Amino acid sequence: MNIQWYPGHMLETKKLLQNSISKVDAVMEILDARLPVASENPLVNNLCKDTIRIKILNKSDLADPEVTDMWLSYFEKQRRLPAIAVCGTQKHQAEKALNYCISRITRNRARKAKIMVVGIPNTGKSTILNTLAGKKIAKTGNVPAITRHKQRTSLKNNVDIYDTPGILWPVIEPRQRAFTLAASGAISDTALDYYEIGFFAAGLLLKKYPNLLLKRYAFLNNIPKDESELIEKIGMARGCLKKGGNINYQKSAEILIRDLRSGKIGKISFETPKEIELANETI
């Protein structure tokens, strides 16, 4: 599956980033801690070659903590990029990320530090900004592409921070990356087939976190043998039925996806550094 989802405002955002990054002191690149590589935008790598950049693994409260530690080590050692994991809704963690970024800037203390926040949709950029400001100054939501324009906010300690719209790229591939982004909620649900994405999510959970499935869905007497059985059992238990008693697989898959995104299934990570390295070797 190659997902093509590129709203018109994202082309405007690309131009905005190209014109703005050279004018700031540093960039905070917000990633989803559950899928740090899948949630990277290749465009950011190209635009930030000469700008200080910090990898912020947000939503760490939803990710497998052991895997998150692996990712922090991977970025520091393999990619030579500073990285920190945070939960953007917690003020002390958001401030820790900001201070980590500021500490790497060399500047005259008399002038403001200018920091830009970038990332793909739904990684929590605006949430982090609101947490730092202590009030709602940027729109947030559980759907991608809420922020539409660059927004500047003055914070304490002589810091200006810029929130930018989330931006994807025209064609998302390979297949695994497209499914991973879709399952995490980074792509608008209007572009998705719930059953197809639910099937992917079911396979991932059965392979990596079967015990979490048993804990979340008490009606499962044992681990389902495959993706179809898991989605079918969820549908039966949650009343996702059509006329005649047939399972509505679309609705059943939607339940699984929403439980996954919200963290109700538990702390999970979609990818590991080892998996990404193996995938790169086969390209």
Average pLDDT of the chain to the nearest whole number? 86
pLDDT digits (tens, 9 = 90+) for 112-169: 999 999 888 889 888 998 999 887 776 544 444 444 455 788 998 889 998 887 776 5
Q: Which CATH number among 3.40.50.300, 3.40.710.10, 3.30.2010.10, 3.40.50.970 corresponds to the domain 3-163?
A: 3.40.50.300
Residue percentage of the chain with pLDDT more than 90: 57
Domain ranges of the chain: 3-163, 193-282
Which has more pLDDT, 240 or 22? Answer: 240
pLDDT in tens, 26-83: 999 999 999 999 999 888 877 787 889 999 999 999 999 999 999 999 999 999 999 9
Residue whose C-alpha is closest to residue 182's, from 126, 121, 226, 140: 121
Minimum mean pLDDT range among 27-41, 162-176, 188-202, 246-260: 162-176
Instruction: Give residue 173's pLDDT.
Output: 66
Of the candidate ranges 71-85, 102-116, 166-180, 185-199, the one whose mean pLDDT is the lowest: 166-180
Higher pLDDT, 138 or 267: 267
pTM for the complete prediction? 0.87
CATH of 193-282 given 3.30.470.10, 3.30.310.50, 3.30.160.100, 1.10.1580.10: 1.10.1580.10
